[in-house]
Amino acid sequence: MISLAKPVQLGWGVRREGRSLWTRNAVKGVSVRGERRKRDGRNEWRRWDPSRSKVAASLLKTKNKPSDLLPESGSSCLYLGASTGGTVSHIHDHVCGSGNHHEGHVVAVDISPRMMRDLVKLSEKRSGLIPVLADARKPMEISPYMREKATWLHQDLSIGDQAETFVKMTGAFLAQGGVALLSLKAASERWMEGGDLARFEHSKRIIEACEHLDLIETIDISVFEEQHVVFFCIKK
């Protein structure tokens, strides 16, 4: 007989079953990237694939409580580098819920018009999701869309100076005590002797030198995403 893993609730809209993650689908009957869906009573859950989401990978690989990395339902979130909205949709499931009955606010920023078309289409059925076509390195382009300071921020940008941008944007938008995740891709950083490890260490030093952030953990997600780590921080 096959033993099924008992679900472990990580938050209102996120749960873990063995090695898989699921979010409570805010738009029943609809998958965003072709992911599997399943029913549990009146609720429908969507599989959150860690090989396609650095946030999901972090939840599975952190040495801290996974729930500590998640935003609260009904909170204000800022996602820098939202791409087509795959991970954003799972965050929305948890933060906003169906019809945004949690009254959450997820601001999803991307600089690409092509990505923005997908985000706008996604937002049409997901109240509380705010797509923003802007440069994620420029606070003045984003601030008009923020109803308040964010209590959760994730940055996933394929640029050089990722850590410097992270420090600037958390300083501008993250509330005291807020959670900040930096998904850092080594290949996007400038070349330096020592390769990927040197780039990770350089970025770590920048974050540690920042007066407004506490670095809680450097999460190795290379089993899901090569050349990546995620820095988990709290705003002082």
Burial class (CB in 10 A: 0-12, 13-18, 19+), 3: exposed
- Please give the biggest Cα pair distance in the chain: 58
- pLDDT at residue number 1: 38
Q: What is the pTM of this model?
A: 0.95
Hey, what are 50's tokens? Answer: 């860690």
pLDDT score at 170: 98
C-alpha to C-alpha distance for 157 and 159, rounded to whole angstroms: 6
The pLDDT of residue 3: 42
Q: What local confidence, expressed as pLDDT, does residue 2 receive?
A: 45
Helix, strand, coil shares of the chain, percent, nearest 5, are 30, 30, 40
Give pLDDT, residue 193: 52
Instruction: Please tell me the predicted confidence (pLDDT) of residue 198.
Output: 82
CATH hierarchy code of domain 51-235:
3.40.50.150
How far, in Å, CA of 37 to CA of 150, rounded? 30
The domain locations on the chain are 51-235
Burial of 212 (0-12, 13-18, 19+ CB in 10 A): middle
CB of 207 closer than 8 Å to CB of 180: no
Tokens 């959450």 correspond to: 104
> pLDDT truncated to tens, each residue of the chain (236 aa)?
344 678 999 999 999 999 999 999 999 999 999 999 999 999 999 999 999 999 999 999 999 999 999 999 999 999 999 999 999 999 999 999 999 999 999 999 999 999 999 999 999 999 999 999 999 999 999 999 999 999 999 999 988 899 999 999 999 999 999 999 999 986 555 555 556 778 889 999 999 999 999 999 999 999 998 889 999 999 99
